Each structure stands twice: as C-alpha cells, then as structure tokens.
Amino acid sequence: MEATPTTLFDAIWEAHRVDVNPTPAGGPDTLHIDLHLVHEVTSPQAFEILRERGLPLRRPGQTMATMDHSTPTTPPDASGLYIFSDDDTAAQINTLEANCAEFGVPLFALGHEHQGIAHVTAPDLGLIQPGMTIVCGDSHTSTHGAFGALAFGIGTSQVAHVFATQCLLAARPETFEIRIDGALQPGVSAKDVILAVIATIGTEGGTGHVFEYSGSTISSMSMEERMTVCNMSIEGGARAGLIAPDDTTFDFLEGRPFAPQGADFDAAVAKWMRLPKPGEAPYHRSVSFDASRLVPMITYGTSPGMGVGIDAPIPHPADLTDDDERDSLRRALDYMAFEPGKPLSGHPVDVVFVGSCTNSRLSDLRDAARILDGRTVSDTVRMLVVPGSRKVKAAAEREGLDQIFLRAGAEWREPGCSMCLAMNGDRIESGQLAVSTSNRNFEGRQGPGGRTVLASPMTAAACAVNGVISDVREMLR
Amino acid sequence: MKNLESLATLLPVDNIDTDRIIPARFLTTTDRNGLGRHLFADWPEGSAALSDASIIVAGHNFGCGSSREHAPWALIDRGIRAVIATGFADIFHANAVRNGLVPVVVEADDHARLVALLEAEPDGLITIDFENHVLRCGTVEIAFRAASVVADQTTPGGAELDLLLQQIVDIQNFEAGSQPRVNTRMETR
C-alpha cells in the first residue's frame, strides 16, 4: 500500500508525536525532542524548576550546552581569567557551569575547543541531522532547519518541560512553501535572499506556519548558506524553516564527530533519503521568488521586513495606503534619521559588525575577507569580526583570514553572540549607525539608542572600507 | 476565569518587539522575578505611557523577535494581565499564555474603534469577559477570538509540566521504540 504523501514537516512531526492515552480532545500534541541545545541566558530558571520539583534531567545524552550570549569576546587575561562585562553576567556563566555539572549535561565552556554560538557549533559537530526535532531557548534555533530537521525556539518554561520529560506540548503549525529559483548575481548572497523574502512577506507573514524552502536557488546553496536562510525564518514570523536534505547535506555531515560513522552513516543516508522532497504534498500556503533578479539588500528601518535593494530608494510614508504601516514607517525613519525617497548609499557608517548565528561561519568570514583583502577599514569606522565558534576561529586563522582583518584595521575577536544583541558589553553607542550581518534591527538592539542596518558580510565589508553605505558590486568589478 | 476590568495603557504601535519589551542586557539574571522595572527600559514612549493599568492596547505583531520568556515575566511583574492586539508573534503568544498573561486578538476594524475610543477617553475602563469572549469599553462591545486556555502556574513548570509528567509512561513507550539519534555524551576524537 502506498502511504499518503506528506510534507517534510508533517513527516517529522508525525515521527515524533507521542501517542498519549487519553488523547486530550483538541489539545496540543506531545512532541518528543531529539536534541536540546542549552545556553546560559534562558536556562537558569528552568534548572531551578527541576530542583523545585525534585526531578532529574531526563536525557542528558540528548542535551548539549554552550556559552554564547553573554560571553566576552576579548581573550582571557595572563592568568587565564575571562573578564565579564559585569558581576551578573559572570554569575550567570557560573550558574550554567554548576547546573550542567549537577544534571550531567555536556558543556562547551569558555576555552573549550567547541565553545561558540549554539547554532554555529552544533551543526559543525554533526549534531544536527535530517529528520530530527531540535529545540533551544533561542528563537534562532530555526537555523537547523537547513538540515531538514524541525528546529524551533522555546521559552524557559518549555526548556524545563524538555529537561524533565524530553517532550513538549505543541499546537501543530501549518506549512508555507517559500520557493526560490534562479542563480544569484555576483555580490548577492544567501543573506540578501532571506532579507528579500522577509521584505516581501512581512515579519508576521509566517505566523502560525513552518516554512519549507524549495527551488533551484536553495538546492544550489551550500549548507552554510542554507543555515543563513533558515536562521532568519523567525524574522519572517515562522518558528521554523525546513530544507529537504540532499547530497549537499549528506556530504557536509560525513565524518563530523557526532554524525553516524562508517556503515551506520550509509544506513542513515538511506533513511534520510526517504524523507519527503519538496512538492510531494500540498502546502497550506505557497509563494515564489525569482532570485536571479536580486541585488544586495539592506534594511532602512527598525524591523527586519523593512529592507530594499542597495540601489533602491527608501519608501516614502506618504506612498503607503495602510494607516498602521504608514505610522510604522514614519516612526522607523524618525528613529533611524533616514530620509525617505532616497537610496541609503553614501550614508555615513560608524560601526561594522560581522558575526552572529546568521553570518559568522567560515564562508561568511571569507566573503568579508575577500572584500577587505588589500584594502583598509575607513578611519571613521570601528569594525568587529566575531567568529561563531572556536572551531570557525581556528579554521579562519589557518587560512590567514585573521591577518586580512587585522591588516585592514578590523578587530578580530573571540567567539560569541557579541554585538548582535549587545548583552556581553560589545555594543554601539547611542546615535551610532551600525551595518551588521546579524538578524535584528530593532530599536536599541545593539545598544540603547543605537541604529542598525542589516546586510550581508560582503556588503558590511564594503561599508567598512568606504565608511558609508555602499554597493559591494562596485568593488567586485 | 473571572472578568478583568482595568484602565488601559494605549500603545497602538506595530511590531513592539521583545528587545523593546525588555532589552537583552537585563537578561543576565538567574531569577524570573523583579523584571518589571526593566519593562520598556530603552523605549521612552512605552515607559512614559505605563500607569497602574493592567491592560495594554498594542498594535500588530506584538512580541515579535526573541523567545525570551523574560518578556511576559516583565509585563506580569509590572502588573499587566492582558495585551489587546490584532496579532501576536507565535513564541511570545505561547510564553504569555503559559504565564497567565492573556493575549487578546481582535479584528483590525474593532482595534481601530477601540483605539479611537481610548484616545477620546483615556480614562475609559475596559472589561474583558473571558467567558463570553467579548470586551467592553463604554458602549462599545468587541468580540475576540477565544484566547487559549490560560495555564495554571501554581506549581513550578506549570500545569503543562504536570500533564507531561502524567504522560511519562506513554513517553517511555515512545522512547522504547526509537533509538536516540545523537549522544552528546559520546567521546569524540
């Protein structure tokens, strides 16, 4: 008998739905979780719930902790001590260390060879595999959908639920196909693709849905590019984004420390190949993009959906018909101090940040380095390059990328989330304008009063060199 | 659940994100209490609007951004019991419900009526009738989509954790039929 075709999302959901007795009528499903990623910021209150209830952590072997959000990106001092931005931060880091020891959770602590941003280090190690369910107390857990894994962010209460039961209660979302076809032009990257998608569907476009990305642009992307796309699914309102696994996925995973090895790997690939491919079953919604016409993207407002092509004018509030949208745009432009109706090119830049779970992988650093090689950062610009993990940092240094950045006048830092959310002390000052390869341009996100323009690593590097918002394509000629 | 009657804080701004609700630098705490003092910390318009009201009337896509449960914790700690908006981001919505903060979703035209009414009469009381899924303000009556059942948080981890623990035999049965896909405690080279 032929099984009814399903979407990749449905296949994973069904394979992880626990049959419970009695089934709550119309209630949420009980979903079993294959991998739980943990970090210092959203876990302490969840570990506390275990203690208050006298419960063990059910599956430490399916739990992995790292330190990333509030860790310093400056090296330890001569005695090996890390200098934290304040006492609370140091206490939170120590709390994670104590909690992981108490409950048996493996931890990539500061100085560990695998320490880094959860969403960079876990895939690097082969922990993320097709068909898995993955959660983390962090909205950018959506990154891991690049492997054909259902991965989404949860709040701290649910972190406790997964600690205690390896399960969570969840209402089933609907599916939304994002089909992207066409070859990318030089200077256009995965970051530009996802910024363009969000600019079109809006930051609430995916609410209640999981994205399933498809099309030739996606299939020709590397795993790192796919992670950049899936990472920002949450900025499009979807908790998760999925890409069906293919040879690119399997080639990436082969030989990674936590991936199956030898004959086990071959058996796993055979199983992964049976997961549904795009288009085998209908989606609730669908939208198509032609990526061949894309240009480098930048954001001009205080929501990731406020993005335009680098050469296009910023929209004028008067041109919008919806009252609320007009009001949002006016507020955003007031905050950003940008003039509508004109392109952003040429606008002075104070800070450039290359990093974050969106764009801090080796290929991102190569992109930025290619632009900076033989050039210098404008003396009006402070540029920070923060690799996503210790492993990425080491790989970049083996290639000499650190030397390119340092020679150009950029700062080469230790791994972490850093200036993406400015909770470790790395931040911009009030009124400053940052071009950032991160994922959110919310008011004050990178420091109180700070203004953020989101862009690709190539565009960020071009802006650093020129000291103004720039079209990287002019530097590729 | 009993009716909620309160003045409202009017903040009809779209996309009030989690960084605006509570900036990341205040997430270095290991406690969930006392976050109310950081509510809208870097957003002058928001913090100036706050009063004793336990209802906020916001715009569209409230709570977009991060998964930080600190956002509903901060709102609740500041005495907010319900947020009325035309839509909420998924993770915030789930976090709010789980903590007893009610996300009330109304249609856009009803929202516009409510905002106009409160602009004319800032001291107008709003009554949220949870049983009949209707809210009243002066002579205006607005139906809202049935908010999810607000979770009981009387035990640590809440009623959801109680339910999951009741399902532990089912969970064991599920686990008996499937191999863990990864082992994070495995020794690697």
Residue A68 lies in a domain: yes
Chain B residue with minimum CA distance to A28: B160
Cβ–Cβ gap B67/A132 under 8 Å: no
Domain annotation covers residue A266: no
ipTM: 0.95
CA dist., res. A32 & res. B75, Å (int) = 31
A304 and A432 part of one domain: yes
* Whether the predicted pLDDT of A21 surpasses 90: no
Q: Where are the alpha helices (DSSP H) in A104-142?
A: 118-124
Substitution target in A20, A232, A269 with the highest count of B β-carbons within 10 Å is A20
The 3-state DSSP class for residue B162 equals: helix
Q: A360 and A406 share a domain?
A: yes
Percent residues over pLDDT 70 in chain B = 94
- A460 has pLDDT over 70: yes
The separation between CA A36 and the C-alpha centre of its own chain, rounded to angstroms, equals 16
A20/B65 touch (CB, cutoff 8 Å), yes or no: no
At residue B61, φ and ψ (nearest 5 deg) are 60, 45
Q: Looking at the partner chain, which of A18, A131, A444 has a beta carbon nearest the beta carbon of B174? A: A18
- Average pLDDT of span A342-369: 98
Contacts with A324 from chain B: Cβ below 8 Å: 14, 59-60
A157 near B158, Cβ under 8 Å? yes
The answer to whether the Cβ–Cβ distance between B188 and A303 falls below 8 Å is no
φ, ψ (nearest 5 deg) of residue B84: -105, 125
DSSP H or E run through A368: helix A362-372
Kindly list the structural domains of chain B, giving each domain's residue range(s) and its CATH number in brackets, ordered by start.
Answer: 4-146 (3.20.19.10), 149-179 (no CATH)
Residue A138: partners with Cβ closer than 8 Å, 6 or more residues away: A37, A39, A42, A118, A119, A153, B66, B67
pLDDT score for B158: 87
Both A55 and A180 in one domain: the answer is no
pLDDT at A116 over 80: yes
Over the stretch B168-177, which tens digit does the pLDDT of each residue have?
999 999 999 9
Closest CA–CA distance from residue B135 to any residue of chain A (Å): 22
**Domain count across chain A:** 3
A24 pLDDT tier (thresholds 50, 70, 90)? confident
CA atoms within 13 A on the CB side of A390: 16
Tokens of A422: 């400015």
Tokens describing residue A356: 């974050």
Q: pLDDT tens digits for A291-324?
A: 999 999 999 999 999 999 999 999 999 999 988 8
Predicted confidence at residue B149, as pLDDT, reads: 55
The model's pTM: 0.97
Residues A324/B60, Cβ–Cβ less than 8 Å:
yes
pLDDT score of B150: 60
- Residue pair A459/A405 in contact (Cβ under 8 Å)? The answer is no
Average pLDDT along chain A: 96
Q: How far is B172 from chain A (nearest CA, A)?
A: 9
| Domain-terminating residue out of A147, A170, A193 | A170
Assign residue A360 the CATH number of its domain.
3.30.499.10
**Does residue B189 carry a pLDDT above 60?**
no
What pLDDT does A419 receive? Answer: 97
pLDDT (average), residues A456-474: 98
SS3 call for B126? strand
pLDDT value at B146 more than 70: no
Pairwise CA distance, residues A106 & A333, whole Å: 45
* Per-residue pLDDT reduced to its tens digit, A388-411: 999 999 999 999 999 999 999 999
**Residue of chain B whose alpha carbon sits nearest to that of A122:** B184
For the record, the structure tokens of A271 come out as 């199983």
Closest partner residue to A61 among B27, B157, B185, by Cβ? Answer: B185
pLDDT over threshold 80, residue B44: yes
The reply to whether A228 and A154 lie within a common domain is: no
How confident is the model over B67-109, as pLDDT tens digits? 999 999 999 999 999 999 999 999 999 999 999 899 999 999 9
Any domain includes A87: yes
Last residue of a domain, one of A152, A170, A188: A170
Domain containing residue A162 = 8-170
